[in-house]
Structure 1
Amino acid sequence: MKKRICFIATGGTIACSDSGNGLMPSLGAEGLAAAVPEAGELCSIDFVQLMQLDSSNLTPAHWQEIAGAVAERHDAYDGFVISHGTDTMAYTAAALYYMLENVKVPVVLTGSQLPMEHPETDAKRNLLTAFHAAASGRAGVFLAFDGHVLFGDSAKKLYSKEFHAFHSINRPEAGVMDFAAGKMVWHQQDCPSSGSFRLHRQLDDRVMVLKLLPGTSPELLKLAVDAGYRGIILESFGSGGVPTDESPHSFLPMIDYAIQKGVVLVCTTQCIYDGVHLETYEVGVRAMQHGVISGGTATVEALAVKLMLALGEGRDLTDF
């Protein structure tokens, strides 16, 4: 018996046509699936056209809408495929990874670097990979691209043009698509959970990222605090270098100011791989002593979502 898959379309390059003023999403879910007839042979597909947007226009409210659409149908389907624009797909993948707690079926996001109608498109290959992953029965939230399947909390877009645009950061890939054999080959899986499926909807989007440059004024941190941000991710140097009192631009006084105002400060690194390790150098240890929390090996995309959820649900952030 064929697996029953729900295909949720949200727009993105995969659905784009030339508007005369650049590419704009226009092709719907059924049109996308029709271009990949192998998907219809693999599984039974129902369609939901949730939105038709360039992913640069998505907000956390759209994550809530997508997560809600999955949660409403969770028990009725064997898996989900979500077509999405590539520019912010890593954020949405991370959002669904944390918002859909103990999801019992595969939820697979995909998109493309070229529109489906382009003669050299990567859309068909990506969509077919996503449907195979969704029909596999492997529960979790994933991002499928260029034959690779990544966990939703570790995907990052590294290329704006290359077909192999997304890489898994600080975590092995979940699997790959064997196109010759017509099947998924899984390498890794999340620890299976016996808990009940739960949707987390409460997000506080008053979260921002402050990228440090040599000589960045600490006043920028104060401005962000005074503007009402409740969570700020400091994108620091190397293993977690934050300017201290030895610098003419020490961040420590403004870190104290932010903490006193109840703002949560999380430190990450500008390095792509290996994560932040605040305990290594004095400039990181001092930041921790003043109240900055380590973001560990998580991507900025994952940290932003985790922080929004934690603030939205009023969680204790000591073990963030």
Structure 2
Amino acid sequence: FRSTGQCTLIYEIVEYNPLLDSSNMSCKEWNRIAKDIVSNYNKFDGFVVVHGTDTMAYTSSALSFMLEGLGKPVVITGSQIPIFETRSDAKDNFLSSLIIAGSYDIPEVCVFFANKLFRGNRTAKISSYEFDAFDSPNYHTLADVGIDVKKSYLTPPTQGLVIQSYGTGNLPSNRLDILRVLKDAVERNILIINITQCTRGAVCSSYECGKIVSWFQDCFGKKLQAVIS
């Protein structure tokens, strides 16, 4: 899927023959999917694999190890009810997977189902009859899809964050969304370390954008308990 902006996606469809019941999936099919992705890797910004639900978690886990070092998303999805049925969940799952694969920087194998994006090798099928058929036990979702796509940042079990900031420790002072993420991390006692991207020099608060502590006091009324190095 080649992204051409926020609203338009150009895509190609490859249909396997014969189509398989997912219970009949084997290593042979996993190899074929992986090889097709590798051979077309440079042509597209992301990939969507439409798959039966019974073995979707197995395929996603296998592909996550077969396609190590991904720089773009591979999203596996399907439906509980066939697409031609009136109440099918296939359309929403498929369209959301297209948007994620073509528009978002989530460079790994994922499973998308019922408005949630899961890490491929941490996913399990938990229901044979509900639309919300998959979960990621003991691991957070990668994104939740409603009117907008909300990616997960700094979710448990994260214990620390290293910020590679600009110059002498500067971050964009007009990005309140970033500050809110940092504020949430501080409230959960996540250690934040600010280091410069420069190979020589250190962090200081000479510039407005380097005054992280002041930002938190001014914007949120809370001090940043962080290591500045």
How does the TM-score come out when normalised to structure 2?
0.62
Q: Which amino acid aligns with 1:167?
A: D
Q: Which has the higher strand share?
A: 1
Shift of 1:131: 1.0
Structure 2 residue 126 is matched with structure 1 residue 158: yes
Q: Which runs of 4+ in 1 moved over 3 A?
A: none
Structure 2 residue 43 is matched with structure 1 residue 76: yes
The size of the alignment, in residue pairs, is: 152
Shift of 1:151: 0.3
Q: Deviation string for 1:226-274 (max 9, x for gaps)? A: xxxxxxxxxxxxxxxxxxxxxxxxxxxxxxxxxxxxxxxxxxxxxxxxx
Structure 2 residue 142 is matched with structure 1 residue 142: no
Q: Which amino acid aligns with 2:10?
A: S
Number of the residue aligned with 1:49: 15
Number of the residue aligned with 2:61: 94
User: For the Cα contact (< 8 Å) 1:113–1:163, is it kept in 2?
Assistant: yes
Secondary structure at the counterpart of residue 78 of structure 1? coil
Number of the residue aligned with 1:58: 25
Q: Which amino acid aligns with 2:149?
A: M
Shift of 1:170: 2.0
Equivalent positions of 1:208-247 (< 5 A) are none
Shift of 1:84: 0.3
Number of the residue aligned with 1:119: 86
Secondary structure at the counterpart of residue 121 of structure 1? coil
Q: 1:132 aligns with which of 99, 116, 128?
A: 99
Query: In 1, Cα distance between the equivalents of 2:125 and 2:8?
Result: 28
Shift of 1:94: 0.2
Secondary structure at the counterpart of residue 14 of structure 2? strand
User: For the Cα contact (< 8 Å) 1:79–1:137, is it kept in 2?
Assistant: no
Question: Any stretches of 5+ residues in structure 2 without a counterpart?
Answer: 155-229
Q: Which amino acid aligns with 1:140?
A: E
User: For the Cα contact (< 8 Å) 1:79–1:105, is it kept in 2?
Assistant: yes
Number of the residue aligned with 1:250: none
Number of the residue aligned with 1:186: 151
Q: Please tell me the root mean square deviation across aligned C-alpha atoms, in Å.
A: 2.1
Query: In 2, Cα distance between the equivalents of 1:60 and 1:124?
Result: 28
Number of the residue aligned with 2:194: none
Shift of 1:188: 4.5
Query: In 1, Cα distance between the equivalents of 2:70 and 2:130?
Result: 31
Q: What's the % identity of the aligned pairs?
A: 35
Question: Any stretches of 5+ residues in structure 1 without a counterpart?
Answer: 5-40, 190-320
